Structure 1
């Protein structure tokens, strides 16, 4: 019998993709005649989708975030994003934990604000794509997290009445809360808020702890 599904955020949760996003961002900024940004700056922009990232890049560059350069930077970034995989790595023990959860009978899914094509590309590059029954990206629906609709869509696609959600950020915490879904907070990702200030059911720093957490939350 299948157990409760586990739905994961991607960037900052399963993978550290900030170095690739940083490199792609600076390449685009350079082509546009703008100065490069630091890795911590760009990492702080990750999590709310590419439109938000582009606005942050422009604002940090002293440009109007919603001005005429927005579409230029957006299109240039999207053109690079699907190939931005070579610097991305999984967090420690992620692969082993995903294999363990699958072996225990938990259906696995992705619900991310990263666009679908780059999401599938990086999962394939890391050899993780076959593990997930459903992969939903930030452009799969008209709305993105923290709207709960993406989580509800993943549940519907899984044919499941409930699930455990795993994420790392303020956006993920708000999404889980809006969906009234049990939330496990990975503390080593991209959040900017103290752990105790984010709504969560369980916080963890080591993925080897996750199977037991899922059993408890389920």
Structure 2
């Protein structure tokens, strides 16, 4: 990572960019609004770490969708968080069948993941002189993850601002959108080229499967992430017909 001083301050943003559909849409959203946008990915031993390999392809593709975005796209950062994977006995960090815990939460829930991600993102933003942090958390189409809820993100923003004595703004543009609306937002931002880029090059499947190509992209087609993405894409295309 570079260690330069502050870049553009209030006109810059840092996007939590995993390589999935939601974070790709959030990256386009940020590029449409800010003059300088950097990206941040996390390697925490996730079972579907193939998503990390899609990040560079998606970043390059954004500049082809909108030439102006290429000039706004800044550095990419990756942080290794092996410890998070080591302490997480979940279906996202272990070879385990996806199901539900006794608590009612899916066993794909990685405790503390978004709290850790946003804390590290804020620490990086602090050093880079960036005020705005963008994440793809969503309370509409989600698996019940408590760290995706709007109240959680708002509370964390307060804690980060107090703890770092900064005025960070945590943006969650997908918070109240379902997957069909997320596909619609992508089309509004970058037209069919952006939709096609996300279909072809983003990765969502929890199992890391990229063998089968469906209308909505690559994936096993049966895990919760694939089902959400497929259902949303079907509703999106039906509404556009």
Task: Return the TM-score normalized by structure 2.
Answer: 0.29
Normalized against structure 1, the TM-score is what?
0.31
